Structure 1
């Protein structure tokens, strides 16, 4: 995953063995080294809420339990704090890429708020979108809403006064519920979270079932994605480039990513290119362009 240079070198994407090893730590050990890093770029509100999140052991505890449920009990892809950091950085990257190209965030258009407030929404949504996995995978979006609402108000206390605080909380909750498979994002920020969550797919992030011998199109395609790059597009503001080592990775793009992009509201702004960086397969599928 290629992100802003100031954070790119600090993000490590663990293979499945690392995700399992982290899930086996004691709760106190697990939360001790969790630290979300984002480029705040002078957004003081974002910096303050990130400091609070990094000091919040309850929030980190949810991330730890979510990962135990995911990688130990269900043997699905990583839902640890690393997933949270990656999704938060992707969401922030997408939002900044869009605003750089003149796309107006919903917080600005609908409430007359600032771009920095839209950044708060996408980051807070990323931090809390799957805390409900600490309860159960089934219906985890609803459990996330239940847990996140009071936590969001706690994190925002003193940063926003009412009614602006309620606006931010409501927009974050909308993003959380809209990231589900049949979600219907009503804002640009909610659509960004939905797509960012789907883009945490690079370098073994979803290889646990495959490495345990559960060979299916889901597990094989997840293991085939090597890198995700977000940059300026040729025909649209954002280009998402997905580099694969095997053509089976097209299932991740055409099947799973397409479903998250469709109805996200980002369709007019995003172009997706997938290609295989393996000589043996370049002649088979040299490049694949996703039509949204």
Structure 2
């Protein structure tokens, strides 16, 4: 038997990545997820991205972040589609909502692999790697020209998650917002506890939970629970910046709350 304290090999660490999402009968989505879970190269890119994030003292960019963003993206999509928001691939190409789910999932699965190369311009590096890998993965799932349309739409979503990405599709907007919604404090634990606190780590650590549910006046309601008012920065500058100006903005309502009586003191003293 292997001692639990025995360090994992590189191969074991990479192989541990396994994405789980509710396909809900979407066979194309199911096949994409299965293909990704069987691809060691993609898992290696995720692992390298996580290592680079650790080197830079950044929030988590491991396969766990990938799984969270993929699931948030699909959750947003299904709530939006249920309320009559039409995906761009349906409007512009006559495809289906299930094809839109594949676009969103593909974009989520590949959006951060460029971090395996460098943080700066990682979205563009993600495009290079996606262009080489995704078409091959989709060959058993889609014929041409649909395959190239799915790749193009997923690539638009990937590049649109950068700081000034300005997505102009529903799917691109969903990926951009889903990435921003992975904000709960578990993601920021390493930079908060190991580095000097700053507004980014403080605001991230102040986010307790994020709940996504059907809205009343709008299609989706996002409720954010904070333990400290520093979290407002994460909500406004993080999520707000990613949401404003996108086709999704009119369909989401965001409510952030804090129990003032139990507000936590995150740092005793802050010095410049």
Query: Which TM-score bucket, shorter chain as reference?
Result: over 0.9
Indicate whether 1:257 and 2:239 are aligned.
yes
Indicate whether 1:166 and 2:154 are aligned.
no
Q: C-alpha displacement at 1:279, in angstroms?
A: 2.7
Aligned to 1:36: 19
Q: CA–CA distance in 2 between the matches of 1:252 and 1:26? A: 36
- Is contact 1:194–1:264 with CA below 8 Å preserved after alignment? no
Aligned pair count? 258
Q: CA–CA distance in 1 between the matches of 2:12 and 2:112? A: 21
Q: 1:96 aligns with which of 74, 78, 83?
A: 78
Aligned counterparts, 1:164-203, within 5 A: 164-203=146-185
Q: C-alpha displacement at 1:87, in angstroms?
A: 0.2
Under a length normalisation based on structure 1, what TM-score does the superposition of the two structures give? 0.86
Q: CA–CA distance in 2 between the matches of 1:266 and 1:152? A: 26
1:53-81 deviation per Cα after TM superposition (whole angstroms, max 9, x unaligned): 0000000000000000001x101001000
Q: Please give the secondary structure, in 2, of the residue aligned with 1:229.
A: strand
Q: C-alpha displacement at 1:199, in angstroms?
A: 0.6
Q: Please give the secondary structure, in 2, of the residue aligned with 1:206.
A: helix
Q: 2:49 aligns with which of 57, 62, 66?
A: 66
- Is contact 1:195–1:264 with CA below 8 Å preserved after alignment? no
Under a length normalisation based on structure 2, what TM-score does the superposition of the two structures give? 0.92
Q: C-alpha displacement at 1:263, in angstroms?
A: 2.1
Aligned counterparts, 1:207-286, within 5 A: 207-277=189-259, 279-281=261-263
Query: 208-217 vs 114-123, which deviates more?
Result: 208-217
Q: Please give the secondary structure, in 2, of the residue aligned with 1:45.
A: helix
Q: CA–CA distance in 1 between the matches of 2:263 and 2:118? A: 40
1:178-235 deviation per Cα after TM superposition (whole angstroms, max 9, x unaligned): 1000001121000000000001111321232211141111111110001000001132
Aligned to 2:122: 140
Q: C-alpha displacement at 1:170, in angstroms?
A: 0.3
Q: CA–CA distance in 2 between the matches of 1:193 and 1:118? A: 11
Displaced runs of 4 or more, over 3 A: none
CA root-mean-square deviation: 1.4
Q: CA–CA distance in 2 between the matches of 1:172 and 1:67? A: 22
Aligned to 1:107: 89
Unaligned runs of 5+ residues in structure 1 are 1-23, 283-292
- Is contact 2:173–2:247 with CA below 8 Å preserved after alignment? yes
Q: CA–CA distance in 1 between the matches of 2:245 and 2:64? A: 27
- Is contact 1:192–1:264 with CA below 8 Å preserved after alignment? no
Q: C-alpha displacement at 1:278, in angstroms?
A: 5.5
